[in-house]
């Protein structure tokens, strides 16, 4: 006996008294993108979403730094819905994904029993979004929506649960809505703009050579206005398509071991995008040195990273700590390390042939560049 997966939430096969059950969970949500969205249509979008979800209040969880520039517009948009508003500020940075921050958020929400009638609206960067996603899972499906305020978060927000305090392992639901307004990034320092663009470069290398070409044409003044909107839209769309194709989700979630190790060696004191850039640079150097890519393609990748003033080299004083963090997952996998190699824009490959010697050669190759 077999029940088709398309007609029910569970597909069940039976054979010799053994039941094989495949559970399917479908989530549908809209990602809306537009310049000036938060000062224009956001209110009507939230009103429609609140009506659909039958929520009775909106809790705005906002990055304390972001609140200085954007809380007024967000508050005005929520107030126009006519629903009660609760504002919860959290400190920016990696610590906002800690258990202490999660406890602070939960204490600020209405007491149990949970009725799922509070819509959480997360306003800020990726760490704030991760905090809300984790809380939503912990609170058994409390609805939430995202308003990303950094380039990195805007590219990532539409793709659903990913990282954080245990993210998917807590059964984190997908957002009820995502509202992307590239003009919110205008108040960011240049370092945070370019750090976010490192994610766009990574996505372009995996799947979108036209986006890579757009990024190459936009390296003068920092991208803004329609140019930045195009970059965010293309990168976000490419990432969504990759996540929709299960065989290729791995390209976004695994194999970027050097970037994470670089961040850890620096004790998380740098923007995530700068770590992404270093990871891409090491992978590009290894692709060239192992004969899987050409000097022309290696230089094209490294030149673009450098044009956005992103780091591409690993200083000698942290080389050993970085490798220690790179090698740690391998010890859990019997020495198995997997690295994604950018061969050229739009094409990547996996390699298992990446040891300390290969790492040192790649680091030396990057240090030798003028």
Question: For 289-312, what is each residue's pLDDT tens digit?
Answer: 999 999 999 999 999 999 999 999
Claim to verify: residue 118 and residue 197 sit in the same structural domain: no
Give the CATH number for residue 290: 1.20.1090.10
Claim to verify: residue 244 and residue 331 sit in the same structural domain: yes
Per-residue pLDDT band for 168 (boundaries 50, 70, 90) equals very low
Q: What is the mean pLDDT of residues 1-19?
A: 56
Claim to verify: residue 303 and residue 250 sit in the same structural domain: yes
CA distance 161 to 67: 24
Claim to verify: residue 87 and residue 202 sit in the same structural domain: no
Compute the residue count for the chain.
370
For 46, the domain range is: 30-187
Q: In the 8-state DSSP scheme, what is residue 218?
A: T
53 pLDDT higher than 80? yes
Q: What is the pTM for the complete model shown?
A: 0.85
Claim to verify: residue 134 and residue 276 sit in the same structural domain: no
* CB-based contacts of 8, cutoff 8 Å, min separation 6: none
Cβ 212 vs Cβ 205: under 8 Å: yes
Claim to verify: residue 133 and residue 237 sit in the same structural domain: no
Claim to verify: residue 72 and residue 84 sit in the same structural domain: yes
Q: Which of 326, 298, 203, 324 minimizes the C-alpha distance to 253?
A: 203
Question: For 129-151, what is each residue's pLDDT tens digit?
Answer: 888 888 887 777 789 999 999 99
Residue 127 covered by a domain: yes
Claim to verify: residue 180 and residue 234 sit in the same structural domain: no
Claim to verify: residue 284 and residue 149 sit in the same structural domain: no
Claim to verify: residue 68 and residue 202 sit in the same structural domain: no
Residue 328 covered by a domain: yes
CA distance 7 to 5: 6
CA distance 20 to 107: 41
Question: For 68-119, what is each residue's pLDDT tens digit?
Answer: 999 999 999 999 999 999 888 887 654 555 667 777 777 766 665 455 788 9
Residue 8 covered by a domain: no
Q: What is the mean pLDDT of residues 223-246?
A: 86
Claim to verify: residue 121 and residue 142 sit in the same structural domain: yes
> What pLDDT is stored for residue 323 in this prediction?
94
Count of structural domains, the chain:
2
């Amino acid at each position: 006996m077999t029940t088709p997966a398309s007609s029910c939430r569970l597909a069940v096969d039976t054979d010799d008294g053994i039941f094989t059950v495949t559970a399917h969970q479908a989530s549908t949500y809209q990602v809306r993108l537009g310049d000036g969205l938060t000062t224009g249509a956001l209110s009507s979008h939230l009103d429609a979403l609140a009506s659909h979800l039958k929520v009775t209040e909106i809790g705005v969880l906002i990055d304390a730094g972001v609140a200085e520039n954007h809380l007024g517009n967000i508050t005005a948009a929520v107030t126009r819905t006519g629903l009660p508003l609760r504002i919860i500020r959290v400190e920016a940075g990696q610590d906002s994904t800690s258990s202490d921050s999660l406890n602070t958020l939960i204490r600020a929400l209405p007491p149990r029993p949970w009725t799922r009638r509070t819509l959480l609206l997360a306003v800020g960067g990726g760490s704030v979004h991760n905090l809300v996603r984790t809380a939503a899972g912990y609170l058994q499906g409390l609805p939430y929506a995202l308003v990303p305020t950094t380039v990195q978060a805007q590219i990532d927000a539409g793709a659903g649960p990913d990282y954080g305090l245990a993210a998917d392992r807590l059964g984190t639901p997908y957002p009820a809505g995502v509202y992307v307004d590239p003009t919110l990034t205008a108040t960011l320092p240049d370092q945070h703009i370019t750090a976010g663009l490192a994610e766009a470069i990574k996505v372009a290398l995996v799947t979108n050579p036209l986006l890579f070409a757009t990024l190459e044409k936009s390296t003068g003044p920092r991208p803004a206005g329609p140019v930045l909107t195009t970059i965010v839209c293309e990168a976000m769309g490419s990432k969504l398509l990759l996540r929709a194709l299960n065989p290729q989700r791995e390209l976004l979630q695994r194999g970027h071991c050097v970037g994470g190790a670089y961040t850890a060696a620096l004790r998380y004191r740098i923007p995530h995008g700068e770590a992404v850039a270093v990871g891409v640079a090491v992978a590009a150097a290894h692709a060239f040195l192992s004969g899987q890519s050409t000097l022309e393609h290696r230089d094209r990748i490294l030149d673009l990273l450098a044009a956005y003033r992103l780091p591409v080299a690993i200083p000698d004083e942290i080389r050993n700590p970085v490798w220690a963090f790179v090698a740690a997952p391998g010890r859990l996998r019997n020495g198995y390390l997997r690295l994604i190699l950018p061969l050229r824009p739009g094409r990547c490959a996996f390699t298992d042939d990446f040891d300390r010697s290969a790492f040192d050669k790649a680091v030396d190759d990057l240090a030798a560049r003028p």
